[in-house]
Structure 1
Amino acid sequence: MTPFYQTLCDQLAALLSGERDWLANTANASALLFMEMPDINWAGFYFLHGDALKLGPFQGKPACTHIDVGAGVCGTAVATGQSQLVEDVHAFPGHIACDAVSASEVVVPLYNGEQCLGVLDIDSPTVARFGDEDLKGIEAYARVLLEHSDLPVS
């Protein structure tokens, strides 16, 4: 993991220390990402409710409130159970454009054991903003969040 992401994970662990509430922790996790990550325009969470993702805490412009499992980048992450690293969202089949300025995206599914709880979603206005090191760092960030939080089960 790069020094940037190690520091970011350490900051998150310190910020969440002593607090398990999912709402407080995801709100602070999205705020920390938005404050510290360069060249992003949205950072936040969607949580699984039945067959759809519902908007959770985020930083950035107003966003889509409902995403079906399998739709867009977030829904694909849930349907496949795999993180999604998309260099150009306009080339992604079925991309949901909540903010037309977004050009690249990374989405990490959040799991409690075998159960998907939702996703961490980060957008950038720059094509190919995220690479493999970013994906590894953001997955590590999500693990820190999961270790410190009691996330809701749908």
Structure 2
Amino acid sequence: MFNVQSYSGTKEKDYELVIKQLKALIEDEPNRIANLSNAAALLTQFLDRVNWVGFYLMDGKELVLGPFQGLPACVRIPLGKGVCGTSATKEATVRVEDVHQFPGHIACDAASQSEIVIPLLVNGELLGVLDIDSPEKNRFDEKDQEMLEKFVKTLVEHL
């Protein structure tokens, strides 16, 4: 059974704990939607100062809204458009300190100020992206990026 533990160590130790919790949630569950849903809920519970956590999944030549936590969101994002579409096209993490300075930013929630998007690559194929928004500028640093990439790597091993 999944057991919520409190986070009180360093940022890296807290991320390691949330990754351990992710493994406990998804290791015996084959359903992709269930695992993405729990991953979004877990990150929402873990991360402070965020207003949206979720997934956009590849559907043909565009990203379509998947499991998420937060306000209703844009349903379809073309590849190459906005932060999510850029991350998907580049198949690389995109960390944006101020979304209003990002050319072509798609504002699904006017409260969002910064964003990090991490691609989900399964056997070299783009499944989608993890998108996390914050109402604060400069919310995500290099350590967040490193550890969220590790979180995603753990997640895709079970998808």
TM bucket, shorter chain:
over 0.9
> What residue number does 2:117 align with?
107
Q: TM-score scaled by structure 2?
A: 0.91
For 2:4, the equivalent position in structure 1 comes to none
Flag the structure with more relative contact order, 1 or 2, with Cα contacts below 8 A and sequence separation at least 6. 1
Instruction: Report whether the alignment pairs 1:31 with 2:41.
Output: yes
Q: Structure 1: which 5+ residue stretches go unaligned?
A: 150-154
What is the RMSD computed on CA atoms of the aligned residues? Answer: 0.9
Deviation above 3 Å: which 4+ runs of structure 1?
Answer: none
Q: Spell out, residue by residue over 1:129-150, the C-alpha distance to the aligned partner (whole angstroms, 9 max, x if none).
A: 000000011111111111122x
Q: Which residue of 1 aligns with 2:95?
A: 85
Figure out how many residues of one structure are paired with residues of the other and give that number: 149
Identity of aligned residues (%): 48
| Residue 17 of structure 1: how far off its partner (Å) | 2.3
SS at 2:43's partner residue?
helix
**Which of 66, 80, 93 is the equivalent residue of 1:56?**
66
Counterpart CA distance in 1 for 2:108 and 2:66 is: 14
Q: Deviations over 1:105-150 (max 9, x none)?
A: 000000112211100000000000000000011111111111122x
Match of 2:108 in 1: 98
2:31 corresponds in structure 1 to: 21
- Is 2:15 the partner of 1:5? yes
- The whole-number CA distance in structure 2 between the counterparts of 1:146 and 1:78 is 15
Using the size of structure 1 for normalisation, the TM-score is: 0.94
Asked whether 1:148 is paired with 2:158, we answer yes
**Unaligned ranges ≥5, structure 2:** 1-10
Confirm or deny that 1:137 pairs with 2:147: yes
Q: Quick one: which amino acid aligns to residue 30 of structure 2?
A: R
